[in-house]
Structure formats: structure tokens, C-alpha cells
Amino acid sequence: MKNIAIIGMGALGLLYGDMLQTAYDVGFIVDAGRRAAYACQPITVNGMKKAFPLLDAGGKGPVDLVIFAVKGTVLDQAIEDAAGYVGPDTLLLSLLNGITSEAILARRFGPGHIVYCTAQGMDAVRVDRTLNYTRRGTLCVGNPGGGTSPDLEALCAALDAAGVPYAVEPDILRRQWSKFMLNVGVNQVVMVHEGNYGTIQRPGPARDQMIAAMREVIPLSRLEGVPVTERDLQDYLDLLDTLSPEGMPSMRQDGLAHRKSEVELFSGTVIRLAEKHGLDVPVNRALYDTIRAMEARY
């Protein structure tokens, strides 16, 4: 592997772009408007100015690995912007929240060369052109059926070369659903309470609401054939409590910037699956309505 293209210069894109740049040629796919904006103001990561090559959206010529690090709200456009960099042997990796992005990528590019992934444990926060973090987190990667494959081995070798923390998951779908459960609670509750990680690390109404929202995911996961347990919930609460209290999830960062959030990816997905299976999810319905009302006031 030599060349990596990343689409999405948010917290995750910059975090992993910064790490991968130590071993590979890494460029960010941008449209004309973003190219002009980034030319005017450089990116800073933990106080250090960074220069990342910018690749034209829709450009031609496949690279070895394309990483999708955009919001779920713009994935369809990102796929078209990155399509020119995807060849028959290009690996595809999604850092998106939720449980649907790999299936969306497969519909556009075919199921081959997609390594399933979920990113967790980082506390990266991007404000304007500045990224700060104290925890790099872990990329959990794997194949839906378990086991290894040449694509998974190639990705792991690339992550090893750049010193990127990762773990190969024997059941990546369960890991994705477990992380989805965490996002459903943390992202939405911090958004509604206009707080940070400290808001839901402390005992109280916000933490109780977060746990209740997470618990509504457990029966849905079982009905969808990927059973998540109370043990998984507790493991993620333990992970959450290690994050910097001053950090904040991506949805809260979107709220501060008055950007459209991923509420459809979180409670929206929970509500749709609940309707499919005839379940009631009152906590997520309340969060969904509150967040939509907040966004309507932007």
C-alpha cells in the first residue's frame, strides 16, 4: 500500500489522516469550495500546523485505500466525489457512525474490498480548522462472517506500519451494533443537554436518559440477528467514563456549528426498526423530536 485518499476533514478524518501520513502518501478529497477555504486557513492538530495534499473531487486514478470519514448526512455525495479514486483493487474503509454505511458502499462499488469497521474511544474535537485530542481511540475491524481475508490482512499491515491502534473483531457486526447503541445514547443526550462528556459521566438525569436510550437498542439488535447484551452496554459505559470530560461527541459539535446532525442515523434508525418489529421506543422518540426542534431553530 502506498496511496491513501480520505474524504471528510472532520475530527476522525484529520485524526487518522495525521497518523497515516507518517507512513503513506495521504490526500484529502475536497470540492472546489473546500479547497479554497483550506488554502486560506491551515489545519492545526494538537497545536502543530499540518499540510495535507488536497485531491479534486471526482478526480481520476485509483488509490490503494479510500477512507470515508464524512457525516452520514452527506455519504451519498461523498461516494460520488470519491468514485474516481476507486479501482478494482482499492480497499474501502468507512469510519461513519451507525450500522448502514458498508451496505451503502457495497451498493455503489460492489461488496468486494470493503473491510467493516467501527471507530471508538477517541476524544478528538475539531473547532474551525483546529483539531485537539488526547486519546487516539481504536479502529475495530473485521469481516462480517468472521475470519481473515487478504483485504483485512492488507489493512492491518497498513495500520501497523503507521502505528494506528486497531483490533481485529471476531464478530464485527456485534461490535458495530454495540457502538451504535453507545452513539444512540451519548451523542443524542449530550446534544439535547448542550453539554460534553462530563454531562453524562456524572450520575443524574442526563446519564439515566442516556442509558435508557441505549437499552432500547438491545431488543432491536436481537430481532435483527445481532444480539447485543447488558454486558456490552456496561463495557461501553466503562469506556465512556475514560474520555476527557471536556470532550464532546460529533453531534454536539454539529449543534454548536448549527449543522444538520445525524439524528436520522441514530434515533431515526431506532424508530424505523422499532416500527418494523412492533416495539415502542419512547426515549428515542423523545430525543428525536427534541433534536429536530433544536435544528429547526438554527
Mean pLDDT of 20-35: 92
The answer on pLDDT for 167 being more than 90 is: yes
Q: So what's the architecture of 3-168 in CATH?
A: 3-Layer(aba) Sandwich (3.40)
Least-confidence region, from 5-9, 49-53, 286-290:
49-53
* 3-class state of residue 253 by DSSP: helix
CATH 3.40.50.720 placement within the chain: 3-168
Between these two residues, 212 and 121, which has the higher pLDDT value? 212
**Total residues belonging to the chain:** 298
Residue 103: all three cell numbers together: 451496505
How far apart (Å, rounded) are the C-alpha atoms in residues 174 and 140? 11
Q: 24-36 burial string, b = 16+ CB within 10 Å, else e? A: bebbbbbeeeeee
Q: CATH homologous superfamily of domain 172-296?
A: N-(1-d-carboxylethyl)-l-norvaline Dehydrogenase; domain 2 (1.10.1040.10)
The answer to whether the beta carbons of residues 64 and 37 sit under 8 Å apart is no
- Which pTM value belongs to this model? 0.89
